[in-house]
Structure 1
Amino acid sequence: MTAPTTTSRKGGRWIEQWDPEDETFWKETGQKVANRNLLFSVFSEHIGFSIWTLWSVLVLFMGPEYGIDPAGKFFLVAMATLVGACIRVPYTFAVARFGGRNWTIVSAGLLLLPTIAAFAVMKPGTSYTTFMLVAMLTGVGGGNFASSMTNINSFFPLRKKGWALGLNAGGGNIGVPVVQLVGLAVIATAGAGQPRMLLGIYLPLIVIAAALAAIKMDNLAPVKNDTGAAKESVKDAHTWIMSFLYIGTFGSFIGYSFAFGLVLQTQFGRTPLQSASLTFIGPLLGSLIRPVGGWLADKYGGGKITLWNFAAMAVATSVVIAASVQKSLPIFLIGFITLFVFSGLGNGSTYKMIPGIYHAKAIALGMTGEEAAAYGRRLGGAAIGLIGAVGALGGLGINLAFRQSFMTSGTGTAAFVSFLAFYAVCFVMTWAVYLRRTASRTVAAGQPVAERPAPAYAEV
């Protein structure tokens, strides 16, 4: 197999031929090219996550002189979450339209807009409306995940996708605790009155990410948008069921990442430095354990891991509720950080379920071998973008719930009770759809369909 043919067209470096499933091609040239693109994709996505969650740190700098109450701060971070979730859909399709390298350059460059804007307005006296608009701008960082995952998915063979996508996602997620650690360093050294120092650190990093993408990454010409698969996945009930479950896992992770420090400040009276010294722990552990969730799903079945993961999240939430009522910060931290860990674990297990579900459907429809695998890849790939976008909306719900809870009662207890109820619903849904043993299905007339059994989802 010859090396990939690279040409300069459409204003960028394009690889015209790409066949990672060919083992000779993969060993000789494909693996090296794919790993290089993965490395710089991770870096760009990492910076994207940091900018998306920037306001989880900036609100810690906003003391009484800013004139914004806790409810207003929760609304600021909620707006960043909302835009980041919605923008994931067009970012998913941008890779095939413009090329993975080209779009990584553009998406990295767009991060300059919210960062420069925040640098300009982060001072007492700025109107709340201005803060809200700038917070919404940071949502562009949330789209980087969708385009990065779509791009990297195309570079690797099926047998390597789990590792590559897990590394790409985990490396991006770690951008959340990293920006919080950088914020901690700024508060500890320069004080809570210097938010612009944090922004000044990230401005050159954004430029470096865009420059490295331009120099080191490639576009894949064979990658095309499959609008037919996208429409088909939208009509499939499993896309929406998995979106609901992903709200419970990734939505929890990103929502809590935005809210953790603010909850510590508001409910437990922690100073900006005290809050920042604790905020990063949960997102860091949740990011690091995400690949473990995928590994456990590979070994025991995604449905089983996701089911018991929601049970564990419910237990951790119960601990948080008890600590919130008793006003016990140590117990609260233990429960909340445990909740982060299981949200990260669930991110891995739910994401791993998606292609397996569509592969199981293909087998139930009578397909076998490569035909079934191709169907699973096609529908699963189309569904992932939508599921990722809807799941991120869970972060919006969490921050709005916190806002309402603190407005009405001054604590986050009521919000945590609502989260507990949601995890219970997720547990039941996972069991009912993917693990419950059912009798043989029947057609409308009541005749058994013995030759086409219901899909076996327990092992996906």
Structure 2
Amino acid sequence: MTGPTPIPAPTPNPSAPPPPRTGWRWIERWDPEDEVFWRETGERTARRNLWLSVFSEHIGFSVWALWSVLVLFMGPEYGLTPADKFLLTSVVTLVGAVVRVPYTFAVALFGGRNWTIVSASLLLVPTVAAFVVMEPGTSFSTFLLVGLLAGIGGGNFASSMTNINAFFPLRKKGWALGLNAGGGNAGVPVIQLVALAIIGYGGGPRVLLGIYIPLIVLAAVLAALYMDNLASLQNDTGAAKDAARDGHTWIMSFLYVGTFGSFIGYSFAFGQVLTNQFGRTPLQAAYLAFLGPLLGSLVRPLGGHLADRYGGALITLWNYVGMAAATAFLLVVSMRRSLPLFVSVFVVLFVLSGVGNGSTYKMIPGIFHAKALSKGLRGEEAAADGRRLAGAAMGLIGAVGALGGVGINLAFRQSFLSYGSGTGAFVAFLVFYGACFAVTWAVYVRRPVAPAPDNLAAEENPQLSYAKV
């Protein structure tokens, strides 16, 4: 007598989707393009995650910008030259750019809520380290090492944007991403304002650091209690490879260098330019330095909203015209050393960088959605394909864009070493903005396309959609 015939185990299918992830605060079904779903449950959940994401990213930006403020506290007793300080802020910016790539994919690997808890908690490391070493007599190499740690605050932007991109429908991405990024960017002027108050009342850098340590803990706790993970955000290494192979990822990276790279680079350098070129004291520089980053952060949602309405490519194109004009004017007033005009025009340049930040980031999901349509995909299939590639591309674009901040600080450093002012740097920035204008016009705006039948327009004329992305 024989036993029952054993049933062979099923052969694993490598292409099958991973099993659903379950647990506290995991959402299995998420379809923001379904208007009924969005109206009944989706919008409320997405907005809650957006506001908590803004708070966590805001603290991350503050920690990233920490050393742009701390260098203003570092008088002659610290033994650092202006070139040393520009190098220090350049290193912080560089690390913040590099870590944006792994932070982007951490959301899919661990979940948006889970990674927000981890990334917020990690901010304690550079903050506590700075609290320990911030005193005269500490070596420059130690300051550089601790500055490297502060760079992780720049990574929070990438993970936050990737997460929020998945929560919102395409028609609202410009507003949502602009608000998320603008609220995060505001961490730069806020820490400068807090530093201004502390300097004004005779406090030291450790008072500033002591204020932010409990805020970091609060951000992690709020994320743990009220944020959600989206199970649909599966870890997709193929998306990263596909995004890296797509030429638009690198074109948008170049354009984002001009907008966000300008914002973060000027945010880190503005106070130092005021002290070195115009002889302002740290307190006087702090009074002026926060204005540009503050307004640049506040208008970023406006840039996204304008891009939703008129098309990100067109807003970006004319924004670069404004940035080039403002830089040319800065070049003139820099040579004449007119402080009131210099500060006023620099603030205008900050505002334009904020508008451009919003419009360029709106372009990313629009471009990849247009490419999905050009491949013949429609409806939710096209939206899902666009979200997949846009989410992966955002990490790369955000990382390369942040490298612009490194370039700006290094350009100012070399300009002060060579000419004793920032004039040489402004010449380089003017040329670069001209190149950004030319690329935007040539790739996304230049070719008007004649109307075509609906079923052929996307497939035969993919350029048709780009001017409106």
Q: Same fold (TM over 0.5)?
A: yes
CA distance, structure 2, for counterparts of residue 103 and residue 379 of structure 1: 20
Does the CA-based 8 Å contact 1:319-1:331 persist in structure 2? Answer: no
**1:32 to 2:58 alignment:** no
Find the residue that maps to 1:94 and give its secondary structure: helix
Match of 2:138 among 118, 123, 126: 126
Find the residue that maps to 1:139 and give its secondary structure: helix
List alignment gaps of at least 5 residues for structure 1: 1-5, 441-448
CA distance, structure 2, for counterparts of residue 450 and residue 185 of structure 1: 55
Label 1:36 to 1:294 Cα distance change in 2 as closer, same or farther (>3 A): closer
CA distance, structure 1, for counterparts of residue 221 and residue 233 of structure 2: 23
**1:206 to 2:216 alignment:** yes
- Taking the TM superposition and a 5 Å limit, the aligned residue runs for 1:293-308 are 293-308=303-318
CA distance, structure 2, for counterparts of residue 366 and residue 357 of structure 1: 15
Label 1:66 to 1:238 Cα distance change in 2 as closer, same or farther (>3 A): same
Shift of 1:69: 0.5
Counterpart amino acid of residue 294 in structure 2:
L
Q: Which residue of 2 aligns with 1:63?
A: 75
Q: Which residue of 2 aligns with 1:154?
A: 166
CA distance, structure 2, for counterparts of residue 297 and residue 400 of structure 1: 31
How many residues get paired? 443
Label 1:327 to 1:226 Cα distance change in 2 as closer, same or farther (>3 A): same
Shift of 1:101: 1.4
Label 1:213 to 1:367 Cα distance change in 2 as closer, same or farther (>3 A): closer
**1:345 to 2:345 alignment:** no
Find the residue that maps to 1:411 and give its secondary structure: coil
List alignment gaps of at least 5 residues for structure 2: 1-19, 451-456
Q: Which residue of 1 aligns with 2:266?
A: 256
Counterpart amino acid of residue 226 in structure 2:
K
Q: Which residue of 1 aligns with 2:11?
A: none
Shift of 1:373: 3.4
Q: Which residue of 2 aligns with 1:445?
A: none
Label 1:189 to 1:245 Cα distance change in 2 as closer, same or farther (>3 A): same
- Taking the TM superposition and a 5 Å limit, the aligned residue runs for 1:396-415 are 396-415=406-425
Deviations 1:118-157 (A, max 9, x none): 1111111000000001111111110111111112222233
Q: Which residue of 1 aligns with 2:234?
A: 224
Does the CA-based 8 Å contact 2:33-2:380 persist in structure 1? Answer: no
- Taking the TM superposition and a 5 Å limit, the aligned residue runs for 1:32-181 are 32-181=44-193
CA distance, structure 2, for counterparts of residue 205 and residue 401 of structure 1: 34
Normalization by structure 2: what TM-score? 0.90
Runs of 4+ in structure 1 deviating by more than 6 angstroms, as ranges, are none
Counterpart amino acid of residue 193 in structure 2:
L
Does the CA-based 8 Å contact 1:261-1:276 persist in structure 2? Answer: yes
Does the CA-based 8 Å contact 1:114-1:135 persist in structure 2? Answer: yes
Deviations 1:309-359 (A, max 9, x none): 111101101111111111111111112111101111110111111122223
Does the CA-based 8 Å contact 1:366-1:452 persist in structure 2? Answer: no
Q: Which moved more, 1:269-278 or 1:221-230?
A: 221-230
CA distance, structure 1, for counterparts of residue 175 and residue 189 of structure 2: 22
Q: Which residue of 1 aligns with 2:387?
A: 377
**1:187 to 2:199 alignment:** yes
CA distance, structure 2, for counterparts of residue 399 and residue 34 of structure 1: 37
Find the residue that maps to 1:203 and give its secondary structure: helix
CA distance, structure 1, for counterparts of residue 163 and residue 367 of structure 2: 22
Deviations 1:76-97 (A, max 9, x none): 1111100001000100011111
Match of 1:233 among 235, 243, 253: 243
CA distance, structure 1, for counterparts of residue 193 and residue 172 of structure 2: 32
CA distance, structure 2, for counterparts of residue 7 and residue 308 of structure 1: 45
**1:455 to 2:463 alignment:** yes
Counterpart amino acid of residue 112 in structure 1:
L
Shift of 1:274: 0.3
Q: Which residue of 2 aligns with 1:333?
A: 343
Shift of 1:371: 4.1
Q: Which residue of 2 aligns with 1:387?
A: 397
CA distance, structure 1, for counterparts of residue 363 and residue 44 of structure 2: 28
Does the CA-based 8 Å contact 1:83-1:139 persist in structure 2? Answer: yes
Q: Which residue of 1 aligns with 2:426?
A: 416
CA distance, structure 2, for counterparts of residue 148 and residue 426 of structure 1: 26
Label 1:289 to 1:223 Cα distance change in 2 as closer, same or farther (>3 A): same
Counterpart amino acid of residue 211 in structure 2:
I
Counterpart amino acid of residue 116 in structure 1:
V
Does the CA-based 8 Å contact 2:170-2:365 persist in structure 1? Answer: no
Over the aligned positions, Cα root-mean-square deviation in angstroms equals 2.1
Shift of 1:378: 2.6
Q: Which residue of 1 aligns with 2:17?
A: none
CA distance, structure 2, for counterparts of residue 91 and residue 269 of structure 1: 39
Normalization by structure 1: what TM-score? 0.92
Does the CA-based 8 Å contact 1:122-1:195 persist in structure 2? Answer: yes
Shift of 1:47: 0.4
Does the CA-based 8 Å contact 1:18-1:220 persist in structure 2? Answer: yes
Counterpart amino acid of residue 280 in structure 1:
F
